[in-house]
């Protein structure tokens, strides 16, 4: 009985910590998006200058950085801004898409090698198993939604690696969703130039 009460108390503490962590992450994302809306024109100018000064290499590097690390600002701004700045629509979309795939592979490996090892030591085997089962069952949908929506793609990539999604499925899903997304973004950017 005492052991059961202790487990209940520990699970409640973990729940409270997890909720506080989620609230803080949500607040950070909301604040960042509000700041983006306030500074939208500055971001647009930055993207145009990035392309003017560094061309497609700068575009590729920036997309890789933005899609490797979890942060709420999407590389869509850089792709749209580069087409606003005169970049060829097809090249901008292809370079953005391929760079995003490279970043996704890096993120997948970060999740697999760094987070996956920590999860094994910090989560109970039951919770880890539940996460793996869920991600293996719905992982393709999670990657597709992350690749097409404003959800940070890097967070999905890290999770795919951490929960052991098959790399081939991850890569095919990312390829089929991420490159078309950047074509749509590049088209919008060129329409407003």
Which carries the bigger pLDDT value, residue 13 or residue 96?
Answer: 96
Say what the pTM is.
0.71
Q: Which residue has the tokens 């089929």?
A: 176
CA distance 66 to 56: 15
- pLDDT tens digit sequence for 28-65: 667 766 766 677 677 677 777 877 888 888 889 989 99
Q: Which two tokens stand for residue 120?
A: 């094994």
pLDDT greater at residue 189 or residue 79:
79
Express as a percent the part of the chain with pLDDT over 70: 71
Residue 166 has pLDDT above 80, yes or no: yes
Distance CA 101, CA 122 (A): 30
Residue 177 to residue 53: CA distance in whole angstroms: 29
The continuous run of DSSP H or E covering 91 comes out as helix 89-110
- How would you label 80-105 residue by residue, b for 16+ Cβ within 10 Å and e otherwise? bbbbbbebebeebbbbbbbbbbebbb
At 83, is the pLDDT very low, low, confident or very high (cuts 50, 70, 90)? Answer: confident
Q: Convert the pLDDT of each residue in 98-151 to its tens digit.
A: 999 999 999 999 988 887 666 555 555 666 677 777 777 888 898 998 888 877
pLDDT (0 to 100) of residue 175: 95
């Amino acid at each position: 009985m005492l052991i059961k009460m202790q487990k209940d108390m520990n699970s409640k503490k973990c729940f409270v910590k997890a909720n506080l962590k989620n609230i803080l992450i949500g607040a950070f994302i909301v604040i960042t998006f509000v700041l983006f809306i306030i500074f939208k024109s500055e971001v647009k100018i930055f993207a145009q200058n990035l392309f003017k000064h560094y061309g497609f290499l700068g575009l590729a590097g920036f997309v890789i950085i933005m899609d490797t690390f979890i942060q709420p600002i999407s590389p869509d701004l850089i792709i749209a801004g580069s087409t606003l700045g005169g970049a060829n629509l097809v090249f901008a979309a292809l370079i953005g898409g391929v760079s995003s795939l490279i970043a996704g592979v890096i993120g997948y490996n970060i999740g697999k090698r760094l987070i996956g090892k920590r999860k094994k030591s910090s989560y109970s085997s039951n919770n880890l198993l539940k996460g793996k089962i869920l991600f293996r069952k719905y992982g393709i949908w999670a990657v597709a939604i992350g690749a097409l929506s404003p959800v940070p793609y890097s967070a999905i990539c890290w999770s795919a690696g951490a929960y052991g999604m098959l790399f081939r499925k991850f890569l095919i899903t990312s390829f089929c969703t991420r490159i078309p997304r950047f074509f749509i973004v590049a088209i919008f950017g060129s329409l407003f130039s």
